[in-house]
A and B are shown apart, each in its own frame.
Chain A
Amino acid sequence: MSEDLYQEQIIEAAYNPANMGELGEFDVATREVSNSCGDAFSVQIKLSTDKTVVEDLKWQGNGCAIGMAAMSLVSSACLKKPTSLILKWGEKEMLESLSLDQISPSRSKCMMLGLRTIQSCLKKL
């Protein structure tokens, strides 16, 4: 299972992450830290005028390949999506986006850090 974790898609997303950077203007921002390894992501989100849809999102941070790939993929998945939908996502959606059947409890923390950061940012609204 451990070696299967590092599929081409994950390595590619981890080492060429999408949506990394900073927004000139944004509506909400936050930073989350993983208590198991100290990895941290910060995120900035620009919303539609009625504040219901994610118009743009940029993030920064460092993490393991799983964390970086997951953040890269979920950040792309969030674009132009309703915030109400994003807030419903969980481990199932993250496993799907990474094309994984399962993940160990410790690595699940790595996988979930990106989504957790985005969700805690949206909850600040």
Chain B
Amino acid sequence: MLNSKRLHQDFPILTNSSQGEKLVYLDSAATSQKPQSIIDAITNYYQTSNANVHRGVHKLSDESTAIWQKSRETIASFFGAESLELILLRNTTEAINGIAYGWGDHNLLAGDIIVTTLMEHHSNFVVWQELAKRTGAKIEIVAVTENGELDLESLSEKLSLEKVKLLALTHVSNTLGTLNPITKIVRQARELNPNIRIVLDAAQSAPHLPINFKNLDVDFLAFSGHKMLGPMGSGGMLVRKELLSSGEMKPWLFGGGMIDSVAVEKTTYSSDLSERFTAGTPDVASAVGLAAACDYLNNLGMENVREHDEMLVQYALKKLIDLPELTVVGPRSNRVGSVAFLYNNVHAHDVAQILDSQNIAVRSGHHCTMPLHTAFSWPATVRASFNVYNTTEDIDALVLGLEKVKEVFRV
């Protein structure tokens, strides 16, 4: 079990609130807070090791290159992947765009089918709409059941269609909290269609669950480092190495650092896969910070992190379901990271504002899942989301904070 009260001390923003009041931070699904050790790792890199990588023969450049490579290894290994399978980018959205440009544009033809789901974040939805426009491919959308789970019958139906080339789905819904049965889904998808490619959006699962890229058996896994205690602007994807080495996945960013040789007539690209997909100077400091975050999480133990999240989610569900003025969305079990709800007759933004006046930070709005909100006729929802530093006291503070909404709106 995690000792969250002690962990709390590792996060300066939670202990040094600018207003002098205790900050109850329940918006970790948007971005997590950062422990001091990660802030220190980034500062230390700039203070002692900053230089461009792979560009010089001087000592500092060598040192920075070694740090970059070591950080890549730490991050890849955190996900049970090989370093050459890791492409570091700024976030999940950029990773999914990279899949569309680097794989989709070269492998989809008019009439091919992309299967995605109604519970996707816009980053795993709009990207495919745009790819479909460019290639003439079609999008088929898997339904979500009334209680917020993926409709597995609808999924089977879509996967059985002819010309399905890609399945893009989320591991955990950022609005419903639903944990999709990814092992079962991948097995079924591969049985029905051995040539299918599978994109897993792990933005909301990577901060809370042990992830093993190899065992998941997906082709692409996109993640946001900044949601898993890493710095802003850190994230990326893992791509199965066979797709990279065979050339099925091609570079989509070109320029310095990713080439083998450049001539006026023709350019060839680096055979080193870790270089081929890193055009331009990489954000080494962010990689250092993300590697430090992986170390921090490994020290806690991802099984402990998972247990802690499950405890918080179940506690929040129990407390919030009991409030008659709320309608909690999403399933009652098999969920991760967050609990979202509607407040009867009070708009989500107003609820969030009243909570903010008590120094409780939650997210309100459509959480970049407009198709889901439209399908359920939810104008907007309030979402409380968690990370390792949250305690049941934070959820108690939320429940108490919601009392004030009643006072102000007299509902």
Binding site for B on A (CB under 8 A): 1-3, 5-6, 11, 36-39, 62-67, 106-107, 110
Contacts and interface: CB of A to CB of B under 8 A. Distances in A.
Contacts of A62: 347, 379
Contacts of B250: none
A66 B379 contact: no
A65 B366 contact: no
Given A2-B357, A3-B357, A38 B366 contact: yes
B163 interface: no
A5 B351 CA distance: 12
Interface residues of B, number: 20
Given A5-B353, A6-B350, A65-B346, 10 more contacts: A1-B357, A2-B356, A11-B409, A36-B365, A37-B364, A37-B380, A38-B373, A64-B347, A65-B409, A107-B353
A66 B346 CA distance: 11
A39 B353 CA distance: 16
Contact of A3 (B348, B364, B408): B408
Nearest to B410: A11
B364 A65 contact: no
Interface of B: 346-350, 353-354, 356-357, 364-366, 370, 373-374, 379-380, 408-410
Q: Which 8 A-B pairs have the closest CB atoms?
A: A64-B347, A2-B357, A64-B349, A37-B365, A38-B366, A37-B380, A3-B357, A65-B350
Given A3-B357, A3-B408, A6-B408, A37 B348 contact: yes
A64 B350 contact: yes
B354 A66 contact: no
Given A5-B353, A107-B349, A37 B366 contact: yes
Contact of B349 (A1, A3, A66): A66
Nearest to A11: B409
A38 B380 contact: yes
B282 to A, nearest CB: 31
5 contacts: A2-B356, A3-B354, A64-B348, A65-B346, A67-B347
Contacts of B349: 37, 64, 66-67, 106-107, 110
A3 B366 CA distance: 23
A2 B353 contact: yes
Nearest to B346: A65
Contacts of B353: 2, 5-6, 107
A5 B349 CA distance: 12
A3 to B, nearest CB: 5
Nearest to B409: A11
Contact of B365 (A5, A38, A67): A38
Contacts of A65: 346-347, 350, 409
Contact of A6 (B354, B373, B380): B354
